[in-house]
């Protein structure tokens, strides 16, 4: 399988209107309490993983899992560029360190782990498969993906991502902990049997400590954040100032237009005011158009 670099992957997702992603499941959170909770690291973390987006092994040609998200500061709305998102997970009940080939190969041959740096809008994305389960004593650990994220080597967060509907969550002491609730995300499936999920990360970084060293990804950015998300009647779309003469589409997860709206001039818009009809539960995309051309997008969730 031909490897694609991270920049090409991000630009491809942007062209489809499916990159800039939603916050995690935020039940009862407010603007002063959104920091992502921690979880155990586990025994198989390896530093200096390769900077690649596709962490699945080359023989995998279908049934992928796409995870996308944004890394935010502790104010819940300021994206962090150049943050580190280090991920790894098991496949068929084993991590790559447990295989004999690990000791005799370099990082280019290692799979199911990678280090991603967020782009200038704080976005990250990677492609893998649904993690396999393995026994922890007499019970199976639920499918999970390990995360280690930080900004400028500060406020490091070590945690794990779980998936809704996993029957092993209830018996797992970590996934069943109430602090993990907002790290159990839903997955949707597309027409090609690929799974899609979104997981935003909220670090303890102050907005005042963020610098922007990334200038090599050309993109128009109008949406700062959608909060809270999954949405409720109080959800606000925060646009950058001077976001004039733009219009907003609402599309399904595959980019098919569902609702079209007139030009928007406010910098803060209540999302419910845009919804002309009730939408079913699922993942949707808010797409910003400038001169009738897509320029920015973010996902939101309806429960």
User: Residue 107 has what DSSP assignment?
Assistant: G
CB 36 within 8 A of CB 157: yes
The helix/strand/coil state of 74 is coil
Q: What does the pLDDT read at residue 17? A: 38
Q: Residue 6: which pLDDT band, with cuts at 50, 70 and 90?
A: very low
pLDDT at 79 over 80: yes
Q: What does the pLDDT read at residue 255? A: 67
Q: What is the total residue count of the chain? A: 303
CB 34 within 8 A of CB 166: no
Contacts of 13 (CB under 8 A, 6+ apart): 19, 68, 125
Beta strand 65-72 with 201-202 is parallel
How do residues 104-149 score in pLDDT, each as one tens digit? Answer: 344 444 689 999 988 777 888 899 999 999 999 999 999 999 999 9
The helix (run of H) or strand (run of E) holding residue 7 is: helix 6-16
Instruction: List residues bridging with 132 in a β-sheet.
Output: none
Q: What does the pLDDT read at residue 111? A: 86
Percent of the chain with pLDDT over 70: 77
How do residues 64-76 score in pLDDT, each as one tens digit? Answer: 999 989 999 998 8
Cis peptide before 228 (omega within 30 of 0): yes
What tokens appear for 86 in the block? 């280090």
Residue 207 main-chain phi, psi, to 5 deg: -55, -30
How do residues 167-178 score in pLDDT, each as one tens digit? Answer: 999 999 999 999
Q: What does the pLDDT read at residue 77? A: 84
Q: Tell me which of 106 and 299 has the higher pLDDT.
A: 299
Q: Tell me which of 110 and 197 has the higher pLDDT.
A: 197
Contacts of 66 (CB under 8 A, 6+ apart): 125, 126, 127, 194, 195, 196, 197
Q: Tell me which of 143 and 77 has the higher pLDDT.
A: 143
Q: What does the pLDDT read at residue 243? A: 63
Q: What does the pLDDT read at residue 4? A: 36
Instruction: In whole angstroms, give the CA distance from residue 45 to residue 117.
Output: 18
53-72 mean pLDDT: 91
How do residues 199-238 score in pLDDT, each as one tens digit? Answer: 999 999 999 999 864 433 334 478 878 888 778 888 888 8
What tokens appear for 272 in the block? 């419910």
CB 158 within 8 A of CB 204: no
How do residues 253-288 score in pLDDT, each as one tens digit? Answer: 656 788 877 788 888 889 988 887 788 776 688 888
What tokens appear for 142 in the block? 């639920």
Largest CA distance in the chain: 60
pLDDT at 100 over 70: no
Percent of the chain with pLDDT over 90: 36
pLDDT at 16 over 70: no
What tokens appear for 9 in the block? 């992957």
pLDDT at 182 over 50: yes
Q: What does the pLDDT read at residue 21? A: 37
Going from the N-terminus, what domains does the chain have, and what CATH number goes with each?
6-208 (2.60.130.10), 220-302 (2.60.40)
């Amino acid at each position: 399988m031909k490897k694609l670099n991270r920049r090409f992957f991000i630009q491809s997702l942007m062209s489809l209107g499916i990159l800039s992603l939603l916050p995690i499941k935020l039940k009862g959170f407010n603007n002063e309490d959104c920091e992502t909770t921690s979880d155990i690291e586990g025994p198989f973390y390896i530093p200096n993983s390769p900077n690649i987006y596709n962490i699945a092994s080359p023989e995998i040609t279908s049934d992928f899992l796409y995870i996308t998200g944004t890394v935010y500061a502790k104010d819940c709305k300021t994206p962090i560029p150049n943050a580190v998102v280090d991920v790894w997970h098991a496949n068929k009940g084993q991590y790559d360190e447990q295989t004999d080939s690990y000791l005799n190969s370099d990082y280019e041959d290692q799979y199911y782990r990678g280090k991603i740096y967020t782009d200038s809008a704080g976005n990250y994305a990677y492609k893998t498969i649904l993690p396999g389960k393995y026994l922890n004593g007499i019970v199976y650990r639920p499918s999970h993906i390990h995360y280690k994220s930080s900004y400028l080597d500060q406020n490091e967060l070590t945690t794990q991502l779980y998936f809704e509907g996993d029957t092993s969550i209830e018996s797992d002491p970590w996934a069943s902990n109430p602090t993990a609730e907002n790290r159990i995300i839903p997955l949707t499936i597309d027409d090609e049997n690929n799974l899609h999920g979104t997981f935003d990360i909220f670090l303890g970084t102050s907005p005042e400590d963020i610098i922007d060293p990334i200038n090599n990804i050309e993109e128009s950015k109008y949406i700062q954040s959608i909060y809270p998300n999954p949405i409720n009647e109080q959800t606000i779309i925060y646009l950058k100032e001077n976001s004039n003469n733009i219009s907003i589409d609402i599309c399904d997860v595959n980019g098919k237009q569902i609702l079209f709206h007139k030009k928007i001039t406010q910098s803060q818009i209540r999302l419910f005011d845009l919804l002309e009809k009730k939408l079913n539960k699922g993942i949707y995309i808010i797409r910003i158009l400038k001169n009738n051309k897509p320029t920015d997008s973010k996902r939101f969730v309806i429960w």
